[in-house]
Structure 1
């Protein structure tokens, strides 16, 4: 095994700015080699440690409070009967859903930002979340009338169907036709996504006004984004989403990384841009829809996590796995705030929206300044 230490050349970002050269370590074992970036590795280890701590704290917050060490002892099989009931039947599903949904939203946001080469291109803005939400609301609020067939499919399947139908419509509308062989224009994709999002939100609001009061209240709480009612049934969709997403990201790490450099460079390096873009978009829709079905459309996590991860790791493009860790920390931390500091056990979506709104304004100002330079 050999270790090579060398400076990494600067890689231009989609907006034309160049990253400063960083240091990388190349580990070679026989014919195989791996590139290890010390800063990204450090951020990843620190993020995993903080996520684990927040997870243990989240499990410990209940009517029978326990510290992180007590929770770890119970999870490893050393708890009393009461502690096992509190942890495994009450607290653990909520913490797992927070962890998995946050990771999934962060990873999906990084994937869509990469293929569109735009920090605003997230599932929230591209209409994917709105499509999944509209289908899920129909299944929740009209389960005894015309939405019975969606309710029969189950909320995860209904959300998945709504997300895919929206993604297909958006992809068709954004496709430039014969005029451009480079694929979808990122700006066109975002503009169409914003329009689709508003139309679907209007449809969702209309359905809420026509639903029974009890069903509308349940759907409205879910639409804000909440993990307070999470059960083991909600864990499995988000677990499937994260597992499929991580498998796809690891298996297609090279073409996904090259695709972020732009379609011309990607094709020059032998990447089938159309095929990779379609696979990544399908994966992002799949992850987003299943996470939405588990906890609702928790706002701004898919926007915040990739941009925070990008700034912490110093990478030229959002990194899906690092973004997933940041997303998990945002949802776990936001849920802890709702349960311990904020009054009334507020939904976690309110906390992420309160953080994401100012960050979106900051991001728009930053992009505007770069565009005028």
Structure 2
């Protein structure tokens, strides 16, 4: 989990360097590589009203995922698009991800970023066979970063690492904290920080799907090392065996946060309900309450996001919905919804009872949906949640002139106040 390569150079971050995502490009003998790094403001010295939370834990957990559907035909698309040329499926000796298995068939439960991570490179295609961009994680989150620059919205970034280490202090004072497309993996410390921020009057903008889903822990002596136990159920790449449900690093019970008494609905009002291939659908506006007109200011369409670079639609791949049994009883408004009308999605295992019944008690088609929601907390905080992994992929469409871009602009303006 640590290649222990020698350091060839160091780069000292200037005090006045703006917070953001940067790329270090290195060249040697006709070859080059490009490695991202994240510049955060000094603790307690924010430089903007908006904070982007970068999902570095999720990036690491997925690091070097050798996908089971990888095919040589992907290489043709990669070459034609001049995308990042290397794939973990071709170079397994660099270490695989927690979505892969050891040679004895057991699941890989530890991950670290102290190695080459192919899928953390600019231009990496997660889905080489998709008819759309095929971008996920770091690359998909660049849609949001590009949108912020296009809209001239100032922002700082904070990564999961700072949030885990510094707690709510890392994001205190920001008027809004916005996530990327897939903030799936969290420690108890990061969830505590986000809930503390929200409950102290902060604004949380969740722009993904399948977020806040799995519990992970950090090694107490090496914070770069993460552990995941895929206990009980959930949509998972492998299943922990009996006796392996507890994390070795701290003895805590692993698995879904839902099974640990902290479902995503308690934080953002919605939680993971369905998954499909890398395809997307539009949302349909369902809220016409005049108190919520600010969300749709300048938008005359009922269909939202029937376009996009990720799955061709703003609601896709992994979807979240509201479940009143799991939230904290907040007055949650469903703004828009997207239903799986073509039966291209499956219900997640924790929602299924039999092949005919599910926990909702209603038709399966009714719960395979994305809910876009807004609510205020009892303590003055507010939350907007998109409920879809492909939402951010619609932001740059038509050079950012589209209804998803307008909607998010309205949300940011409401939360930040300008």
Q: TM-score, normalised by structure 1?
A: 0.26
Structure with the higher strand share, 1 or 2: 2
- Pick 1 or 2: higher relative contact order, CA cutoff 8 A, min separation 6: 1
Q: TM-score, normalised by structure 2?
A: 0.24
Structure with the higher helix share, 1 or 2: 1
